[in-house]
Structure 1
Amino acid sequence: MGYVDTAKHDRRARPAIVSRRKCGNLFVIGRQPGRVGYIAIAAGVFLLLACSWWLASGLGLVSPIFLPTPQAVGLRLSKLAADGTLWADLKVSLYRIAIAFLVSSLMSIVIGVLAGCYGFWKASFEPLVDFVRYMPVVAFVPLSILWSGTGDFQKFLIIWLGTFFQQVLMVMDAVKRVPADFIGLGRTLGMADRRILLKIVLPSAFPGIWDALRISLGWAWTWLVLAELVASTSGLGYRITVSQRFFQTDTIIGYILLLGVLGLVTDQAMRAAEKILFRYNRRRP
């Protein structure tokens, strides 16, 4: 029986074991891929969807009236951009969502912080917010038109209704998650309630509040399109409605993709801003 160099055998087997472990890390609870790996996986998913779309439309598996090719959608968007239609629609929609989301966010932060800190304000606002937030925003569209017409204020109102009440609850939750020990330390140091609120509660809660605003921004885009789909004469949602009447599926899909890109850009912008504004927060995304 010959001698077997077990050390040499282990050295040969170890790289394969390590390689398997590295690959398996992606399927372990709590493990996250590196930045390059994350981008590669995400890009791969988008590429897979684009290829599926190209094959389904390019091979004639789906009629162009229902699913035009990516080339047709790209050409249509280029044409709309060249004649200024795309930029006009984009400008109007960005203006509407910026104003409505800013007003909703400021109001929700003030009310949410007060309700999260003080029992009186919690009893005043939380039951009302819980009551209203279960009312479907779509049902308010006819009322909002009766109340304010079909101008920009009606679009502001729909976006506000769809985001404000959800934001208030999330801001309250962010404030409630501030450790009680932090507040107790402030009282031990003899700080007044106002200083505890400004120096302890708000800095501790603002990363969570910012994350809540980032999530609610996605809802705001949805309510913007809803508001522009009904009784509107401008905006991205209006253009989708007009295109549906004339069976311009390429325009509809192009605008839907554009909305997705806008949402992704604004989401990533807020993520980047969070890292700059709240460097003291060590929470991982």
Structure 2
Amino acid sequence: MRKLFGIRTKINLKIYNALAAGVFLLVLILWTVLTEGGSVSQIFLPSLKSVFHYLINVFGSGQIWPDIGISFYRIFMGFAIAAAIGLPLGVLAGTFSFAEALIQPLAEFIRYMPVPAFVPLIMVWFGINESAKIAVIFLGTLFQLIPMVADTVRAVPEDLINAAYTLGAKRKTVIWKVILPAIAPRTLDTLRIMMGWAWTYLTVAELVAANSGLGYNILKAQRYLKTDAIFGGILIIGFLGLLTDRLFVLANRKLFPWTEGGK
């Protein structure tokens, strides 16, 4: 018991998994009690049984798979473009003071702007095709990613950099052989967090004149007060988001086994 409440003390993996599963089970029990007991109207909170039936129907009929595919495509493209631009900018901002002055203040300013407010402008700039939806996810992740990568670069110990210079390394060598390998594990973890942001912006992205996708299905269900479909869509997005999160954790463990890749 003492070990269980120790600060940063590791606990047995079985106990960890049991506690995690117990929380999910408690939520499901509470949900069932509230809905089956009539304490909450089905309009506000559908029964677990109705949500389960909805999920069986959409997966059994196959109608949900195209929506999952198009939503995955939008998230992956927006995330990939943001990573391709944000990672180099973050490394530059964290490595050189002049680059920090040019990049980070603007990124810090833009990242506090609400992405949904850009939706009308995005429709003007990109129209209502796929690029508009990808742009929403891109904007939602890029300006969060840059400062986080820059902070990761600044966390590289000065001793490592000074040791490389002492051994005769040039600036380019220090960047490629010292800084980039040092930040790789934490950067992958940062990308994992950014993927979570990308999933949260999915519904916003599919506000842009979409006629397919998981977010579109939730918005369509909202019009007709189909709360079982709303909760079902939310659960699907949550599960897919958790799946991608665990894939990043697995990749971190495989690529960088000497670091802690998370549970």
Shift of 1:57: 1.1
User: What is the DSSP-based 3-state SS (H/G/I as helix, E as strand, rest coil) of the residue aligned with 2:206?
Assistant: helix
Q: 1:1-285 to 2 correspondence within 5 Å?
A: 23-281=1-259
Which whole-Å CA distance do the structure 2 matches of 1:236 and 1:67 have between them? 20
Mark the CA change 1:213 to 1:283 in structure 2 (over 3 Å): closer, same or farther. Answer: closer
Which whole-Å CA distance do the structure 1 matches of 2:128 and 2:172 have between them? 43
Shift of 1:24: 2.5
Shift of 1:283: 7.6
Give 5+ residue unaligned stretches, structure 2.
none
Shift of 1:207: 1.1
| RMSD over equivalenced CA pairs, Å | 1.4
Which whole-Å CA distance do the structure 1 matches of 2:227 and 2:60 have between them? 19
Tell me which moved more, 106-115 or 25-34. 25-34
User: What is the DSSP-based 3-state SS (H/G/I as helix, E as strand, rest coil) of the residue aligned with 1:200?
Assistant: helix
Which whole-Å CA distance do the structure 1 matches of 2:208 and 2:134 have between them? 14
> Once superposed, which parts of structure 1, at least 4 consecutive aligned residues long, lie more than 6 Å away?
none
Which whole-Å CA distance do the structure 2 matches of 1:284 and 1:84 have between them? 34
User: Is this contact kept in 2: 1:230–1:238, CA < 8 A?
Assistant: no
Shift of 1:281: 3.0
Shift of 1:202: 0.6
User: Is this contact kept in 2: 1:77–1:86, CA < 8 A?
Assistant: no
Number of residue equivalences: 263
| TM-score, length of structure 1 as denominator length | 0.88
1:245 maps to a residue whose letter is: R
User: Is this contact kept in 1: 2:185–2:252, CA < 8 A?
Assistant: yes
Shift of 1:282: 5.7
Which whole-Å CA distance do the structure 1 matches of 2:262 and 2:33 have between them? 39
Which whole-Å CA distance do the structure 2 matches of 1:283 and 1:43 have between them? 20
User: Is this contact kept in 1: 2:253–2:261, CA < 8 A?
Assistant: no
| TM-score, length of structure 2 as denominator length | 0.96
Mark the CA change 1:33 to 1:280 in structure 2 (over 3 Å): closer, same or farther. Answer: closer
Shift of 1:83: 2.7
Tell me which moved more, 58-67 or 32-41. 58-67
Mark the CA change 1:152 to 1:284 in structure 2 (over 3 Å): closer, same or farther. Answer: closer
Which whole-Å CA distance do the structure 2 matches of 1:84 and 1:30 have between them? 45
Larger Cα-atom Rg:
1
The percentage of aligned residue pairs carrying the same residue is 43
User: Is this contact kept in 2: 1:112–1:168, CA < 8 A?
Assistant: yes
